[in-house]
A and B are shown apart, each in its own frame.
Chain A
Amino acid sequence: MSWIDLIGFGPNGRGGLLLWATLMTLSVTAASLVIGAVFGAGVAAAKLSSSRLARVIGDAYTTILRGAPELLVIYLVYFGGSQAVSAIGRLFQYEGFLGLPSFLAGALAVGMISGAYQAEVYRGAFHAIAKGEIEAARSIGMGRALRFRRIIIPQILRFSLPGLGNVWQLSLKDSALISVTGLAELMRTSQLAAGSTRQYFLFFIVGGILYLVLTTISGQLFAAAERRVAVSFSHGLGRS
């Protein structure tokens, strides 16, 4: 069988599986970006908080999740999560092992790592807001909540876009590690196809190319989004 048949869409081809796996990689990364946004916002708030305890917790979170190998975090969430779920199962008289779904465990693990990086992005974006704008808002009588919604959030979103692009690319590549939990994403599917056909080289090259397609397209999308957002910034301030 020629290599074209192997990666094609015929009866013995893996083309369909690989495309499906590419979508799976995309969706697990998207889920992790959303989970990371929640973690990141919380941790950034903790790090910017006036409470010393909150700052220490925020710092510990970013130090640990940026300092530990991604694989270790995935093991923690996958095995630890499954143990927690089993423990909850025992409370309801269910004896036996309950696993955390690998999509959920993977998205959560990569999301927690992404959250640590996103927290730094949001914190940087918050510091980039001109202090005068917050004073101006205060001086015309905007309350805390209104100021947050009208002045702070829209600017944080704009300033953090380039950083979020980087985090997205990191997560896209981290998502390959979710393959250890058995989730049929791009890495795992290439690995299985390679193993069953003994064509390791071919399928890892094809898998690698599909990752390159993903990172290139998403890089261009983020660049386009940045250009769009840049329109609303005043020029000549070194912000572009």
Chain B
Amino acid sequence: MDFEFLASTFVTLVKAVPTTLALFGASVVLGAALAVVLVVMRTAGGPILSTFSRVYVFIFRGSPLLIQMFLIYYGLGQFAVIRDSFAWPVLREPYWCAVLALAFCTAGYQAEIIRGGLQAVPPREIEAARSIGMSGFLLVRRIIAPITLRAMLPAYSTEIILMVKSTALASLVTVWEVTGTAQRLISQTYRTMEVFLVATLIYLVINFIIVRLVALLEHRLSPHLRERPRISGEGRTVTSLETSHD
């Protein structure tokens, strides 16, 4: 093992981490906002909006992200209308094209996850809230949103890990994030295995941190599902499987 090479590879790749994180952060936030809109359209939007939301999810989950990204990066620039429009300064930038493609794609997946979480809200809780006079936004904020959020977190953490990996595709529209930089290093040095291992290590660390953060959030959101501290050290610990449903 050539530690000097590994160390210099690591330094080069770490410099690209902010780009990866910026792609990830922007697209997850944008995608989540879009997903909420899609879910509202699906559940409360009437037949036309609900069909639109359904078709959107079908299209963006059924086709590869790469083709969506190329469609935005190469496809939109083809039209003079778009090149002359106010959006061109944004759509001209590979970074924003990548962010848009990632956000559009993850919105389709996130919408389904949020919808799944909504289905976990027991109708009884909504009835109980209504019966004491809660309605509208207060009902959403106090009852529906917290239960949905908690129920969707496990699937959500899987999705955002997939998003960290998906940012790699931005390198194919010339955004130099970690994978793109790794590819460039491979073609310069021909030391595929070493570069692969260092780059993978970086991704694993990012993923690990995200998983821990989501787990922490889940823990914070479910104090009522946790076992009370025991006085004596007796008894078995309740596994996460047993506490995951209320």
Using CB atoms and an 8 Å cutoff, list the residues of chain A in contact with chain B: 63-64, 67-72, 75-76, 79-80, 83, 172-177, 179-180, 187, 190-191, 194, 198-201, 204-205, 207-208, 211-212, 215-216
Contact = CB atoms under 8 A, between A and B. Distances in A.
* Residue with the greatest number of chain B CB neighbours at <10 A, chosen from A67, A191, A199: A67
Contact of B66 (A64, A179, A199): A179
Contacts of A177: 64, 66, 169
B186 to A, nearest CB: 5
Given A67-B161, A187-B64, A215-B63, 7 more contacts: A67-B165, A70-B168, A76-B196, A177-B169, A194-B74, A204-B74, A208-B59
Given A176-B64, A190-B67, A70 B165 contact: yes
Interface residues of B, number: 39
B71 A212 contact: no
B196 A201 contact: no
Given A72-B199, A75-B182, A76-B193, A201 B63 contact: no
Given A173-B65, A204-B71, A69 B179 contact: yes
A195 to B, nearest CB: 8
Nearest 10 A/B pairs, CB to CB:
A69-B168, A176-B64, A201-B75, A200-B74, A80-B192, A204-B71, A68-B200, A173-B64, A215-B62, A69-B165
Q: Is the interface of B mostly helix, strand, loop or mixed?
A: helix
B23 to A, nearest CB: 12
A200 B75 contact: yes
Interface of B: 58-59, 62-68, 70-71, 74-79, 161, 165-169, 171-172, 179, 182-183, 186-187, 190, 192-193, 196, 199-200, 203-204, 207
Contacts of B207: 67
